[in-house]
Amino acid sequence: MSNQNSLIIEMEHITKTYVMGVDEVHALRDISLKIHKNEYIAIMGPSGSGKSTLMNIIGCLDTPTTGRYQFKNVNVSDMNDNELAKVRNKEIGFVFQTFNLLPRSNALHNVELPLIYAGVHAYDRKEMARVALDNVGLGDRVHHKPNELSGGQRQRVAVARALVNDPSIILADEPTGNLDSKTGEEIMQLFEELHARGNTIILVTHEEYIAEHAKRILRIKDGLIESDEIVNNRKILSQA
Amino acid sequence: MRKVRRLKSWEESDFSINQQKALTSIYESTIGVIQVGGFFITGLSLFVGAIGIMNIMFVSVKERTREIGIRKAIGAKRTNILTQFLLEASLLCLIGGIIGLILAILLSYVVNQFLPTSVQVSAVILAILISVLTGMISGFAPAYTASKLDPVEALRYE
């Protein structure tokens, strides 16, 4: 588990400072972190703790002010916009709280989108998107638009979109935040399956019971890591 | 000419000679005025249209900020966003250009009842090219703004 090849994320003394007028806001003060392949980690923290900022930096949507961030042994802290876009496209699968699907496009096209930016040929693209939708149990909903799907189904489409490029990590930001508890459990079940298939999952949440699905919980407070522990009484879902 | 008409030397000429040249010069100067006026009006409406397109595209970029954020998050590069919005603006202008052409052809049929007109192929091609070019030019500023959006802020936008 701790050999160099399985290391996906390595952060050393990451800081992020925002300048708001004359004030400086220290969103992240000093974060050092290692995440290996096939880990299932939850990042927790109250609002304003810096967990969103950390998630944005992990997801290569933002760059740290200081510190070194290596993704699969490649330094991403001083990459330019285009290089970051490529990393996001190939290595990171995002799942958002508000699903963030394109409302005017059907499920298939939404899942295809990352492949379009990856330059995959149209024929292969459709096939790959279909397989990804099949894998989340939506094989019969490919031509439905987001507003014709339930919340849980929308989130499944988002998961399929996150998976379609076979990324190194899945970064889920409050994936159950907009779902009722039963549908939320179904999505957590899906993550459990993805984890069992060898995916690396990073879950950002402020709900204890959601975080307990993970194998490791990282708590953030005031821009610092408060605790980093392995979950002992892990909540393992039975097959429904 | 007098010989042809077999006129005696004391007889007055029973014909007159009008040069076509005078008529064509009047015709040409009229056409010239129409052309200059036409170019001026066309240029002005093209300019107004371009401003309109730019405005619409700025509104579109603003409204679709979140979509741009999503696209960037899943791997769209700046150039992808830029070309998407440039294409949309050009498509908008192309459709406008085609509608304009259909109207022009219909109008030329009507005018043809009184005056001979013709719609040249070269004029059609030029019109299409100019409308697409207008779209490109007026769409550039909005598309560039879209491509420069910060993904984090665009995703947070409501």
pLDDT value, residue B118: 80
Q: Where are the domains of chain A?
A: 37-62+81-230
Phi, psi of A199 (to 5 degrees): -80, 150
Q: What is the pLDDT of residues B76-111, one digit of tens each?
A: 999 999 999 999 999 999 999 999 999 999 999 898
Q: Sort strands A224-230 and A216-221 into parallel, antiparallel or unpaired.
A: antiparallel
**CATH code at A37-62+81-230:** 3.40.50.300
Mark yes or no for CB contact A102/B70 under 8 Å: yes
Q: Where are the domains of chain B?
A: 33-151
pLDDT value, residue B138: 95
Mark yes or no for CB contact A81/B155 under 8 Å: no
Using an 8 Å Cβ cutoff, are A177 and A151 in contact? no
B79 contact residues in A (CB cutoff 8 A): 82
Mark yes or no for CB contact B75/A85 under 8 Å: yes
Using an 8 Å Cβ cutoff, are B70 and A102 in contact? yes
Q: Sort strands A66-71 and A7-20 into parallel, antiparallel or unpaired.
A: antiparallel
Mark yes or no for CB contact B73/A94 under 8 Å: yes
Q: Is B70 on the interface with A (CB under 8 A)?
A: yes
Q: What angle do CA B34, B38, B41 make, to 5 degrees?
A: 140
B68 contact residues in A (CB cutoff 8 A): none
Which is nearest to A237 in space by CA: A210, A199, A200, A205?
A: A210
Order of all β-strands in the sheet with A169-173: A74-75, A66-71, A7-20, A23-36, A224-230, A216-221, A40-44, A200-205, A169-173, A92-95
Mark yes or no for CB contact A56/B152 under 8 Å: yes
A7: helix, strand or coil: strand
Q: Is B87 on the interface with A (CB under 8 A)?
A: no
The amino acid at A219? R
Confidence of residue A237 (pLDDT cuts 50, 70, 90): low
Q: Sort strands A200-205 and A169-173 into parallel, antiparallel or unpaired.
A: parallel
Q: Is B81 on the interface with A (CB under 8 A)?
A: no
* Smallest Cα distance from A175 to chain B, Å: 15
Q: What is the pLDDT of residues A158-179, one digit of tens each?
A: 999 999 999 999 999 999 988 9
- Report the Cα A55 to chain-centroid distance in Å: 8
Mean pLDDT confidence for A27-32: 93
User: Helical H runs in chain A?
Assistant: 51-58, 81-91, 107-118, 122-135, 151-163, 181-196, 208-211
* Smallest Cα distance from A212 to chain B, Å: 27
Angle, in degrees to the nearest 10, between helices A81-91 and B65-73: 70
Q: Is A97 on the interface with B (CB under 8 A)?
A: no
Instruction: For residue A80, give both structure tokens.
Output: 């330019």
The ipTM of this complex is 0.90
Q: Sort strands A92-95 and A169-173 into parallel, antiparallel or unpaired.
A: parallel
pTM, to two decimals: 0.85
